[in-house]
Amino acid sequence: MIISIASGKGGTGKTTVATNMAVSLGSGVQVLDCDVEEPNSHLFIQPTIEEVKTITTPVPEVDMDKCTLCGKCAEICQFNAIVVIGETVLPFHELCHSCGGCVEVCPEKAITETERELGIIEKGHRNGLEFVHGKLRVGEAMSPPLIKKVREYTRPDVLTIVDAPPGTSCPVITAMTGADFVLLVTEPTPFGLHDLKLAVGAVKILGIPSGLVINRSDMGDDQVRVYAEQEGLPILMEIPFDRRIAEAYSRGDMVVDVMPEWKEKFLELYHRIEKIVG
């Protein structure tokens, strides 16, 4: 089973839920941190890293000795990532989506592919728990290709918990696609509700069953609960504000290590999801 843990808004406690549920379950679990722009699950899980891999993507390079300036490469590129200017052809690697279209259409075979670095993937473990995360190269604008590479580490024989990036755009869709369940983490504030609605819209398009965790549930107002009821979105867990949880988070400690009574609650959360997914 693949559970993707997402939130329309950053800072709602998504990583707290992902890491504590994973550690509560112990072995037979893998955590894929797909928040590649700002991965932080490792700060809590503290895995022993045993593999580091550089991830690249192919981008075009033009041999001007062969090029006849016909413009076919620029015509096919949907991202304006290759243009003909005067007597030269300029590829813009930062805009390139590595579709290979320009290479295919060039009648002179003047375009070859070179590699652009996207970032790195680190793989490790904490006891029986497998851990993988991606770290996007500083200055790299496109995170979905790296997220896809992290998702390729999904193993069919274990429970996969995906820590998705915040938001509702391409990166989070890439992290949610193919999941059996999306667990949305929100907070009961107008901002939380606003972004939750966007996240629910995205999950509906993907057609994945979903449920809700309300963090700092005793603060704010009741609007998130009202909305959840209207949408038929099950509230699977509520985490009240507790200074000890906030302090544990700020120190990089796991909630279940500092307050072991929470282990049962995170296990119960998993069993509720298991029941929904069947």
114 sits near ligand SF4 (criterion: CB under 6 A): no
**Binding to ligand SF4 (CB under 6 A): which residues in 46-65?**
60, 62
Does position 83 interact with ligand SF4 (CB under 6 A)? The reply is: no
The whole-angstrom separation of Cα 150 and Cα 133 is 6
Nearest residue (CB) to ligand SF4, 69 versus 277 = 69
Stretch that binds ligand SF4, among 69-77, 161-169, 193-201, 259-267 (CB under 6 A): 69-77
Among 39, 47, 101, 188, which residue interacts with ligand SF4 (rule: CB under 6 A)?
101
Q: For residue 1, state whether it binds ligand SF4 (rule: CB under 6 A).
A: no
Q: Could you identify the residue written with the tokens 């302090």? A: 247
| 79 lines the binding site for ligand SF4 (CB under 6 A) | yes
CB of 197 to ligand SF4, least distance (A): 33
Q: Residue 118, interface with ligand SF4 (CB under 6 A)?
A: no
Burial 114-150 (b: 16+ CB within 10 A, else e): eebebbbbbbbbbeebbbbbbbbbeebebbbbbbebb
- Which residue in this structure is represented by tokens 């390729």? 152
Q: Is 99 in the site for ligand SF4 (CB under 6 A)?
A: yes
DSSP per residue over 229-253, as a string? HHHT--EEEEE---HHHHHHHHHT-
Kindly state whether residue 145 participates in binding ligand SF4, applying the rule CB under 6 A.
no
- Report in angstroms how near the CB of residue 139 gets to ligand SF4 at its nearest: 18
How far apart (Å, rounded) are the C-alpha atoms in residues 27 and 177? Answer: 24
| 72 lies in the binding site for ligand SF4 (CB under 6 A) | yes
Give the number of other Cβ atoms within 10 Å of residue 270's Cβ. Answer: 21
Q: Which of 46, 56, 61, 67 binds ligand SF4 (CB under 6 A)?
A: 67
Distance CA 144, CA 57 (A): 11
Residue 58: CB atoms within 10 A of its CB come to: 15
User: Would you state the structure tokens that stand for residue 273, as one six-digit string?
Assistant: 């999801």
d(CA 255, CA 33): 18
Nearer to ligand SF4 by Cβ, of 96 and 228: the residue is 96
Q: Which of 77, 147, 161, 248 binds ligand SF4 (CB under 6 A)?
A: 77
What secondary structure letter does DSSP report for 137?
P
**Which positions ≥6 away from 16 have C-beta within 8 Å?**
44, 215, 239, 245, 249, 255
88 lies in the site for ligand SF4, by CB under 6 A: no
- Contact footprint for ligand SF4 (CB under 6 A): 60, 62, 67-73, 76-77, 79, 81-82, 84, 89, 91, 96-102, 105-106, 108, 110-111
